[in-house]
Amino acid sequence: MTAVTEDTLILLVGAVAIPYAIASVGIVPYVARAKRRSGAGWAILSLLVTPVIALLALAAMPVARGDDDQAAPCPYCAEDVRTDAVVCPHCRSSLDPKVVGRLAPRKR
């Protein structure tokens, strides 16, 4: 029977740790951002649990809605409001389309 040397253990740990780190810090955040989720949060989660479980959880989750695309600045207080809003929830001013004009969404 052959003895396991220290060099063999180092190679074995590297062979496991490098793909684990690549999956946790590279693949999982990429998939999370594609589904409009937090890439950094999912990277931390995949380091705590295995990246396989994190990827399975992401696969089961629907794509997050992009409500940010439907926001526009209020012409009176400059806070973000929905483009179909009638009254600004921040300053309570009327957003009548005849007076203000149509709210234009922010460009990213």
What confidence tens digit (pLDDT) does each residue in 16-71 have?
A: 889 888 888 899 999 999 888 999 999 999 989 989 899 899 989 888 766 545 77
Expressed as residue numbers, the domain containing 91 is: 67-100
**Is residue 79 located within the same domain as residue 46?**
no
- Count Cβ atoms within 10 A of the Cβ of residue 107 and give its class: 0-12 exposed, 13-18 middle, 19 or more buried: exposed
* Separation of alpha carbons 23 and 3, rounded Å: 31
* Separation of alpha carbons 4 and 28, rounded Å: 33
**Is residue 53 located within the same domain as residue 71?**
no
Total domain count, the chain: 2
The pLDDT score that the predictor gives to residue 40 is: 92
**Is residue 84 located within the same domain as residue 47?**
no
**Is residue 80 located within the same domain as residue 96?**
yes
pTM exceeds cut of 0.75: no
Q: Is residue 34 part of a domain?
A: yes
Q: Is residue 106 part of a domain?
A: no
Q: Is residue 108 part of a domain?
A: no
pLDDT band, very low/low/confident/very high, at 100 (cuts 50, 70, 90): low
**Is residue 11 located within the same domain as residue 56?**
yes
* Separation of alpha carbons 58 and 56, rounded Å: 5
* Helical residues (DSSP H) of the chain, grouped into ranges: 6-22, 28-34, 39-48, 51-60, 97-100
* Separation of alpha carbons 19 and 22, rounded Å: 5
